[in-house]
Structure 1
């Protein structure tokens, strides 16, 4: 199962189908305050002393003999990892859309006015080859054996982690792998330590978050799509001190998320509920009796978080990179702290 065939791509597909949203997003980014994400994209990469390096992954192992200068990312969030490490990928796989992915406020400074070359959601192999990559990377991805064979014929290719289900690999694992690929392990470790310290400070300042049950939901007219504790959105909650309850994880199983039917909506009656909802979804939620009858909603303990509307906190949480997480934190932590039981 790939992103193009499951619920997770809903937001990316919406971006491509509703081009009218793209222009407001780009314009909105112009006036947004400077993000607090770590501006470390200059000088993070070391020399060639760390090479050759061999990376183990779900489809085997890949040896990178010299430091790559031309990186193509086929994972949906991988480009942000390399940007944070000082490497601008020459090719990027779109997620939310080709007019959007490089304009988010937390990532725009790293591109420094550049528009990346997009390689297509379904992987345009001719385009990838034309970019003459030194390495191809798919960490936040579900690269198939067939795709891997085609990509490896173009350049050394690193696929998703072998020890976790696709799209559930821990942020630190992926970022350290990205660091090894470009010889920037010390920089990756430093940024992860800084981010861990930030989360630790938040948990200390907000002990009321500790152990409270919470979940992130993507609502639609058919069902509520819930994200597991090991999905980036779920990990964001647990990093803050919240707990994604077993009743939600049990329904999801070993995947990153699953639909919860209206008949099972009671499992979402938690201490906190975060809904990824732009204007259309908010209108639907306002008229949905099942949602409105949940105690978490009646008690004003739910948050409706936009993807495409400022401050774009839903998208920042979904990317869950060292660049996007601080941007999500600065919006969501005060809003969560303002909720009382």
Structure 2
């Protein structure tokens, strides 16, 4: 994406040419050269050491201890930025628009309401359930899809819960749909067969495999007041197809 900005926000650049700092390592020297007035790192897994170093460059806002890394809900994120930028009402307006978009989709697809589903992905020899307040999980619950109570009651439940495949029985009951991020090089049909063999879901037509590099996946991962309505409009028809048992296997 140009300037690491999706189409849900590109119109707000208004001719500006912001630097993209994407990468696995924090570019401290580059940040220092940019002389920012504020560094926002709320929805991250920023460590104390990284925070301390960033704070020497500019005032830095990170995740709160009670939320944990990657644990800040999209509404809390928006409200915190609204306070910092003295745009509280603008933040509330944008939050309300997200809920309006969710409500409109729930009305269009009433089968979402009360359906049981999870969002997840595989990581090495494990699989990950993305919590009900974490990007794709938060989007699912916004659309009316309910996480299985057993998952939410697990001790130490967190934004990202890691399981071995031998623990697949923990999520195999009463599951109507799965939204699954697919990372590069993964064999989607093989993954579908494995999940069906383990009884994780009732047939391959019940899972939405989503390319982690696609725009809709990036919009869900951004979990912002601008990206969520964009993502919801694109993913809703595919979730509806999955609930009817007609989701295509290939990721797009």
TM-score (norm 2): 0.82
Q: Distance in 2 between matches of 1:131 and 1:119?
A: 15
Partner Cα separation in structure 2 for residue 205 and residue 288 of structure 1: 28
Deviation at 1:288, TM superposition (A): 5.8
1:36-88 per-position Cα deviation (integer Å, ceiling 9, x unaligned): xxxxxxxxxxxxxxxxxxxxxxxxxxxxxxxxxxxxxxxxxxxxxxxxxxxxx
| Alignment check: 8 A CA contact 1:119 1:127 kept | no
Residue pair 2:105, 2:233 contacting (<8 A) in 1 also: no
Q: By how many angstroms is 1:229 displaced?
A: 1.4
Q: How does 1:247-258 map to 2 (within 5 A)?
A: 247-250=150-153, 253-258=156-161
Q: SS of the counterpart of 1:243?
A: coil
Q: Distance in 1 between matches of 2:170 and 2:127?
A: 11
Residue 277 (structure 1) aligned with residue 182 (structure 2): yes
Per the TM alignment, residue 278 of structure 1 is displaced from its structure 2 partner at its CA by: 5.3
Residues in 2 aligned to 1:340 and 1:119: alpha-carbon distance in whole angstroms: 38
> Secondary structure at 2:95's aligned position in 1?
helix
Whether 1:108 and 2:10 are equivalent positions in the alignment is: yes
TM-fit CA distance, 1:227: 0.9
1:135 aligns to 2:38 (yes or no): yes
Is the 8 Å Cα contact of residues 271 and 296 (structure 1) preserved in structure 2? yes
Quick one: distance in 2 between partners of 1:101 and 1:211? 39
**Unaligned segments of structure 1, at least 5 residues:** 1-25, 27-99
Query: Contact between 2:21 and 2:27, CA under 8 Å: does it hold in 1?
Result: no
Q: CA contact under 8 A between 1:140 and 1:166: conserved in structure 2?
A: yes
Asked whether the equivalents of residues 98 and 225 of structure 2 are also in contact (C-alpha less than 8 Å), the reply is yes
**Mind listing any 5+ residue stretches in structure 2 that lack a counterpart?**
246-252
Which of residues 299, 314, 317 is equivalent to 2:220? Answer: 317
**Map of 1:301 onto structure 2:** 206
When the two chains are superposed, the root-mean-square deviation of aligned CA atoms in Å is 2.6
Q: Kindly tell me: are residues 254 and 117 of structure 1, through their superposed partners in 2, closer, same or farther at Cα, counting changes over 3 Å?
A: same
Distance 2:22 2:180 in 1: 30
